Chains A and B, each alone.
Chain A
Amino acid sequence: MEDVSAVTAPTEAQIDKSAGFHPLPAANLERVDSFGMNLHAMSYVWRPSTVAGIHQVFAKARATGRKVGLRGAGRSYGDASLNCEQICLDLTRMNRVLSWDPQSGIIEIEPGVTLRQLWQYCVGDGWWPPVVSGTMFVTMGGALGMNYHGKNNFQAGPIGNHVLDFDLVTPTGELLTCSREVNPDIFHAAIGGFGMLGCFTRIRIQMKHVESGHLSVYAFSTRNFAEIIREFEARMDRADYLVGWIDCFATGAMLGRGAVHEAKYLHIADDPNPQQSLRVENQELPDTILGLLPKSIVWRFLKPFTNNAGMRLVNWAKYWSSATIGNRKTVRQSHAGFAFLLDYVPNWKWVYKPHGFLQFQSFVPAETAEKCFTSQIEACHRAGIVPYLGVFKRHKKDSFLMTHGVNGYSFALDFAITARNRQRLHALTRELTDIALRAGGRFYFAKDSTLDPVSARAYLGEDTIREFARMKRRCDPDGMLHTELAKRLFAEDLLNT
């Protein structure tokens, strides 16, 4: 018999196989998706429920030479909590409320506590989270990782402004307590530090006192960017929340047309029964739409409209109703109803199946906003890719190192990804990025999936990146904390690659 089994000695160069590789258990291999459904990773996922468990995951990563990506509820649109083929440390099971004082409104929580848990826990005592994002299905660890903002950013700043202190477990096993007084540099870098410095394990937040479970919400329409900006500037001193919606299909004189919702907290005198309005049951979003349609199937009805013609119609109808029947109306709405409008339609994002969608959000100074956003919409029309949703907010500066905050406006654009537009969409987002950069704009890692290292440097500045890299070396000298976003934007600065 010919010797078919002879093994040739490997030549030394050119072999990629390495002997010291330690496999991780196949049982932990999972698919991990981005919220936009356009990116995913296969990762080895661990979900510890204690601080000791977190230490163990870091130890395992060290022993097997793996990187660790931190993940909350995965509500970032892009690759911020993805970590291909490495360890995903999912904090959702670390979700206990550690202490709560209804007198002072100070709450101490683990990082996996969701925003939903948080408001439901406190609202009955007359406290509401000082800053909430557009969905309640985020974890507070993830909220701090991105330093999320709400529709009250121009007043309240980002969530970081309301954090009293936190514990951060670093990959080296250190537990750092940070506040504005203790480790202030890490405090201001880890909040908004997109999971690069350590894992929040305990967070103390000052909640916001509310006298009623309702807000007074005033709605009106605006005809263009100049007008909406004028309205925001005039109202921001007295409004508690301001949010704008823009019909991105409109062109010419109507380019930038949209609607504004302005909300104010109610005083006890304006609410006949705050005891009742503050009950969780009376905050909850109803299960059906118009008392008829189960919410869970609504996305199926929207699906046929998720194309250019359909969305042009939906946007037009929304503008038309806000400019006519809904114009200059004041209504009372629960905090949850006002804040979490998007959660009203479960799985609304499924209308973007199968290719998913991306959000492009830029934050530009007030002076350049009108021109910048007008150019961005014009660029979309030129490219033939019109965003199906445009959301407009007012912001202010903050003191966090990697911040997306500006004294100005943000404009968030939702783009459907199709089999045919992928390349063109990529080119378009580059153009939108350049327009924003020229206007002095900034970007937000929670929404981003398209930025490149040069643009990230351009808005953050060398000094900021150097300072963040210094902090990274201090907390994570081996560059063990790693995500696809960090690799895309800061491979050289942060990841020892």
Chain B
Amino acid sequence: MTKTKNIQNTAKELYMDYSATTPTRQAVLDEALPFFVEKYGNPSSFHSTGLVAKRTLQDARERVAKILNCDEKEIVFTGSGTESINLALKGIAFKNMIKNKGLGKGTFITGKIEHPAVLETLEWLEKFGFNIIEIDVDMNGIINLKQLQNDIKKNQEEGLPVLLVSIMYANNEIGTIQPLKEISEICHKYGVPLHSDGCQGAEYLPLDVTKLGVDMLTLNGSKIYGFKGTGLLYKNKNVIIESLIHGGGHENNLRAGTENIAGIVAMAKALEIAEKEKKKETIRLKKLRNYMVKKIKKEIPKVIYNGSATKRLPNNVNFSFEGIEGESILLRLNEAGIRVSTGSACASQSLDPSHVLLAIGLPHGLAHGSIRFTFGKDTTKQKIDYTIRELKSSIKFLRTISPEWNKQKSWRKR
């Protein structure tokens, strides 16, 4: 009862799920809004109204290219992070299939903790004859570089070309940041292009594609205070891919369809703001993250901090709570106004818990008992304190009614 009162008094909604999506920034919305009602032209039109749209598009492309330190022709605007990933992977695959009379011939290498947009796309490509390899990660979620190098070498020695390596920049569940530069050096040693899913990294990590060494990079608006349903693919001009969507010459023949000018402007603005605030915001959030981690470890018994302590996004905290299940924690926190995510199967459409948590070696029970807190621009120490208070009481109650908790009296150490 008192709990319900709490919600209304202190926090109607305390959002701790910025890795799921972010609100749009007011400044981003302000800049994009005119392109709905006033400046609604089609960039392909041969009149002044169209020209405004065309110039706006060109300008947005240049702004993005400046941040990524690439040529503006190397930016393809798309309809989501998922679409960019599909374009990168299938674009390479179709190119290969055209060469081989419809059959896929070659290997794609990726990691075990990639987003489903990568894993399910590659699984589908397997049907056309491609060979798919998923590289292991260690308990921190870092890709096994040795295995990556060996697999590239082995495949090429056996006459199977490695067509593409796709490794994410930062993980959406545990926040682990991959050593992209080292990965790219391995790939390039063998002449293999590297694509990276940078959706979670864009807000906080460097995006200079030459420094990163990536040949393709996926970003989206949904995670950087831009619009949902917007994305882009950086594609180095030396990488040749097929388009997935035909019907006009838009986006350098790589993505047909009238451009989403407002969304593209929002994307450019969101990236600019992210770029400007990166340094300061990373320092601020890192402090808050370390504060929360320390406090949870101190105040709640038998927890496991999932992921890497250091090679980690500044806004990601992920814990497993022994003896209880994540969806029930999530929903009790939700009642206190706090929005979080879980790796439990119960909160998804599958019966298996998060593939990411299983890949870093968590047993099923602990993977079911995981909660992800992700911070953003409105996260404060005060909100974290409130969250921890509510978390403590939820955990305590759920453990009281848990057969698992009452069974295991011994602290299982990983």
A and B bind: no
Which residues of chain A have a CB within 8 Å of any CB of chain B? none
